[in-house]
């Protein structure tokens, strides 16, 4: 984090951005669950001897995990701490 105090407007902007990112992830997760439940139902009804639903489930699951990591690593302050460390190093040079 930076050493100078942040204004209320800047804090609100950051909080709004973080809340929006989290909300976007939750919507992504909900759509993931609903669509994949539908795919499982279609698969089991149409071709129960061949379980193809695992392929989109796995592929989309990787994307959902990446989305979650991006959202929660950024909102946990990890990104800001990395920026602060780089700025500190650059100031020393």
Dihedral of CA 34/38/39/40: which sign? positive
For 72-91, write each residue's pLDDT tens digit: 887 677 777 777 788 888 88
Residue pLDDT, tens place only, 5-50: 678 888 888 888 888 999 999 999 999 999 999 999 999 999 999 9
CA distance 72 to 93: 31
Give me the mean pLDDT over the 50-76 stretch: 92
Mean pLDDT of 54-58: 98
Query: Domain locations in the chain?
Result: 8-92
Angle (CA) 46 52 53, round 5°: 90
State the pLDDT at residue 57. Answer: 98
């Amino acid at each position: 984090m930076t050493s100078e105090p942040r204004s209320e407007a800047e804090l609100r902007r950051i909080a709004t951005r973080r809340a929006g990112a989290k909300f976007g992830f939750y919507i992504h997760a909900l759509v993931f669950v609903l669509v994949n439940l539908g795919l499982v139902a279609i698969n089991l009804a149409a071709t129960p001897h061949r379980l193809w639903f695992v392929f989109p489930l796995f592929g989309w699951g990787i994307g959902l995990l990446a989305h979650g990591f991006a959202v929660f690593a950024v909102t946990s302050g990890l990104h800001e701490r990395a920026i602060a460390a780089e700025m500190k190093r650059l100031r020393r040079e």
